[in-house]
Structures are given as structure tokens and as C-alpha cells.
């Protein structure tokens, strides 16, 4: 167990103990082969056929190292997708690599908005950075005034995992202060039609936006993502990085999913998520399950009397759901469910009835 370092705002208390094991927990560890997966937010079993073909087409070139030209070409496509310059793009081996880079910003006090994905806090703590938890009460609305003024780094998700809350871009911009860097994890932004609150297309000298391709394109096993931000901050993040940090297949996937046809497809997928989520919520509520709204992400935060008991019972009948108590600010009554299509929700509802919800 670790102890809090530095001042804490929101519902945190100076001296709170931190369970690093909970920060390291991810839903994939609870999914066994053959289970119905509501624990992991990846959409589908693998990338679409056209993307597979693009990746297969690169296999013949794996005998050579990827060059700077290939990196630049992928950055050009990503930059065009967001209306930025190529020097505002840093390609990553998954968003997780971006979190591990954050300590290079040499923050004196990092404020992490919770409940949220725990990887950023874990990376900062393991590098010895003082962390202040800003824990939002339900309905998890962000108030910039809760963030300590002395925090020179603020990290948050939008939409936020696991609450599915989409913070207004105006509110996120209000976090900016002289001498402070704001990092916005937009891993699920492309699951929101039109990406209305995204800062990916806006250039600020003190804002970094992190994107992941894992979820929408089912590329969890390939590790693809990127940072968007000012060149000077990206240079600090990139400093000391190994040669050839991304392989040819990763570069191909990043470029392929940033072109106009792929963007149109991702927005179509986002519309399906909206419809599936709207259909899923009343079915859960009909069983007496409390579902947090508004919800704008590809997952739902639910509350039941004994979440751990329910999770174990569902696992016993082959259904995996994500425990919620590993997210700071949530308790033993919370679970997170991926939004799925009707046929899979049918099986979930049947399982819930079977275990006696």
C-alpha cells in the first residue's frame, strides 16, 4: 500500500492509503475464453475485413525496420484527420504508453480526476510524482474549482471511464492555468457521434489529447494510439524513447483508421452504440438495476446491492462484467457493463435472471 502525497481535493483526504493492486486491475483479467464479455470495451472480436487486408499487405515488409518516412506519413494522416500539423502528433504503442510518458513532464503535483481510468495515476505514482485525487460525487459533474490551484498537471478522461460522463469542452478548457498542463484521455471519444466535446481539433500550448484505436477498431493486441499537442510538450514526452517505438503494422493501422472512409465508418459505429445503449438501459432497469445517466460512452455504470456477489455469480454462468470498486470514488455496489447489441444483451438479461438479480 502507498500513501497519498500532496494535497487532495474533492472527497479525498490527505494521508489516504492507495491500493496499487486496484489501480493495476483491468477488466480483461476476468474474462476467460468462451465467456460472454461485458467487461472489456473493445468493439468486436477483431478489426474489420478491410483493415485486416491492409495489415496483411504489410507482412511482406516486416524484414526491415520502419523508417522515419513511414512515421511521418502516418502522422500526416492523423494530423489531417484532426486539422493539425504533423509536428503536433506523437504516435504511440497504445494509449498506455502515453500514460507512462507523463512523468517526463516533471510535475510537482498531478491532479487526477476520479472516478476514471486508473492507469495514469498508477504511472505517475510509480514514477514518484505526487498525486492529488479529485473525486467527483455522483452525478460526476466536473467542477474546475475542485482542482488544487497548485496542481501543474491535470489528467481526466472524456468521456470518462467508467461513469460514461461526457464533460463539456468549455469546462475542460476552464482547467487551464499558467504553468499547468491538462491531459485529456479521449480513448472513447470516437464512440460519441460527432465527437462534440473533443479537444482533439483544437491547438493549445498547454493541452495534450490522448487517443486510442484499441476500442473502436478491435486492435487491443496491436497497441495503437497517439498524443495530440504542442510540439514542445511532445518533445519532452518523446525524450529518451527507444528506436523504432512502433512497428510497421502499428503505423499501418494508425494511418488506415485516420483516413476519411474509416472516420465515416467509426461514426456509423458510434451511432449503433447510441442505439444499443438506449435499448439496453430500460432492460436493465426493468430488473431493478440502477443505471447512471446521462451516459455517452460505450459502457454503462450500474449499481446493485452486492456487486461482487453478482459479478461472481455471473462469472459462474459464463458472463464477465467489470468490477467497479477498483475505480477511486466508487464502492462495492458498482459494476461497469460494455454496451452490446441486442442478441448479447438478451443473453445478459437471461443470465441476470438466472442468478437471481
Q: How much of the chain, in percent, has pLDDT values that exceed 70?
A: 95
Q: Across residues 40-55, what is the average pLDDT?
A: 94
177 in a structural domain: yes
Count of structural domains within the chain: 2
Q: Across residues 52-74, what is the average pLDDT?
A: 95
Structure-model confidence comparison of residues 347 and 43, the more confident one: 347
- Specify whether 107 is located in the same domain as 253: yes
235 in a structural domain: yes
- Order of strands across the sheet that contains 299-303: 36-38, 319-323, 334-338, 299-303, 290-291
Residue 137: CA atoms inside 13 Å, Cβ hemisphere, count? 4
- Specify whether 165 is located in the same domain as 271: no
pLDDT score of 17: 61
Lowest mean pLDDT among 1-10, 73-82, 177-186: 1-10
Residue 10: pLDDT band (50, 70, 90) is very low
The answer, as to whether pTM is greater than 0.75, is yes
Cell of 49: 475485413
- Specify whether 171 is located in the same domain as 225: yes
Dihedral pair phi/psi, residue 353, rounded to 5° = -65, -40
Q: Which of the listed residues 227, 257, 287 is the one where a domain comes to its end?
A: 257
Residue 39: pLDDT band (50, 70, 90) is very high
The enclosing H or E element of 309 equals: helix 307-316
- Specify whether 214 is located in the same domain as 269: no
55 in a structural domain: no
Residue 316: CA atoms inside 13 Å, Cβ hemisphere, count? 10
Three-class secondary structure of residue 322 per DSSP: strand
53 in a structural domain: no
148 in a structural domain: yes
pLDDT digits (tens, 9 = 90+) for 227-255: 999 999 999 999 999 899 999 999 999 99
- Specify whether 111 is located in the same domain as 230: yes
The domain in which residue 297 lies consists of 2-45+263-354
- Specify whether 82 is located in the same domain as 37: no
Nearest-5° angle of CA 47, CA 196, CA 92?
45
- Specify whether 135 is located in the same domain as 100: yes
138 in a structural domain: yes
- Specify whether 77 is located in the same domain as 131: yes
Indicate which CATH number applies to the domain containing 209: 3.40.640.10
Instruction: Name the burial class of residue 131, with classes exposed (0-12), middle (13-18) and buried (19+) by CB atoms within 10 angstroms of its CB.
Output: buried
Are the C-beta atoms of 135 and 16 separated by less than 8 Å? no
- Specify whether 146 is located in the same domain as 171: yes
pLDDT score of 180: 98
pLDDT digits (tens, 9 = 90+) for 192-235: 999 999 999 999 999 999 999 999 999 999 999 999 999 999 99
pLDDT digits (tens, 9 = 90+) for 54-64: 999 999 999 99
Q: What is the DSSP letter of 242?
A: P
Q: Across residues 291-302, what is the average pLDDT?
A: 98
How far are the Cα atoms of 34, 98, 235, 239, 242 from residue 351, in angstroms, in the given order? 15, 37, 50, 50, 47
Flag whether pLDDT at 7 surpasses 70: no
Q: Across residues 319-333, what is the average pLDDT?
A: 95
Q: Across residues 323-345, what is the average pLDDT?
A: 96
For the chain, the maximum distance between any two Cα atoms, rounded to a whole number of angstroms, is 58
How far are the Cα atoms of 53, 57, 63, 248, 254 from residue 60, in angstroms, in the given order? 13, 7, 7, 10, 18
Amino acid at each position: 500500500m502507498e500513501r497519498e502525497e500532496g494535497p487532495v481535493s474533492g472527497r479525498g483526504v490527505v494521508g489516504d492509503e492507495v491500493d496499487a493492486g486496484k489501480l493495476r486491475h483491468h477488466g480483461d483479467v476476468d474474462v476467460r475464453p468462451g465467456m460472454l464479455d461485458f467487461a472489456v470495451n473493445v468493439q468486436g472480436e477483431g478489426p474489420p475485413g478491410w483493415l485486416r487486408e491492409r495489415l496483411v499487405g504489410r507482412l511482406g515488409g516486416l524484414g526491415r525496420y520502419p523508417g522515419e518516412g513511414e512515421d511521418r506519413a502516418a502522422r500526416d494522416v492523423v494530423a489531417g484527420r484532426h486539422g493539425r500539423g504533423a509536428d503536433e502528433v506523437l504516435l504511440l504503442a497504445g494509449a498506455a504508453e502515453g500514460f507512462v510518458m507523463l512523468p517526463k513532464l516533471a510535475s510537482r503535483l498531478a491532479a487526477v480526476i476520479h472516478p476514471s481510468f486508473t492507469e495514469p495515476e498508477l504511472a505517475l505514482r510509480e514514477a514518484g510524482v505526487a498525486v492529488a485525487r479529485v473525486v467527483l460525487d455522483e452525478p460526476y459533474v466536473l467542477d474546475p474549482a475542485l482542482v488544487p490551484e497548485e496542481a501543474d498537471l491535470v489528467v481526466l478522461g472524456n468521456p470518462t471511464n467508467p461513469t460514461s460522463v461526457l464533460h463539456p469542452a468549455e469546462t475542460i478548457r476552464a482547467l487551464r492555468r499558467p504553468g499547468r498542463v491538462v491531459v485529456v484521455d479521449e480513448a472513447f471519444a470516437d464512440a460519441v457521434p460527432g465527437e462534440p466535446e473533443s479537444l482533439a481539433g483544437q491547438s493549445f500550448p498547454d493541452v495534450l489529447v490522448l487517443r486510442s484505436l484499441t476500442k473502436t477498431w478491435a486492435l487491443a493486441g496491436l497497441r495503437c494510439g497517439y498524443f495530440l499537442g504542442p510540439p514542445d510538450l511532445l518533445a519532452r514526452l518523446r525524450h529518451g524513447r527507444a528506436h523504432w517505438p512502433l512497428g510497421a503494422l502499428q503505423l499501418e493501422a494508425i494511418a488506415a483508421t485516420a483516413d476519411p472512409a474509416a472516420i465515416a465508418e467509426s461514426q456509423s459505429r458510434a451511432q449503433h452504440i447510441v442505439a444499443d445503449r438506449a435499448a439496453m438501459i430500460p432492460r436493465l432497469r426493468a430488473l431493478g438495476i440502477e443505471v447512471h445517466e446521462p451516459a455517452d460512452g460505450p459502457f454503462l455504470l450500474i449499481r446493485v446491492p452486492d456487486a461482487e456477489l453478482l459479478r461472481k455469480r455471473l462469472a459462474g454462468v459464463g458472463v464477465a462484467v467489470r468490477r467497479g470498486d477498483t475505480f477511486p470514488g466508487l464502492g462495492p455496489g458498482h459494476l461497469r457493463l460494455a454496451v452490446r447489441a441486442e442478441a448479447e444483451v438478451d443473453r445478459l438479461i437471461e443470465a441476470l435472471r438466472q442468478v437471481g438479480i
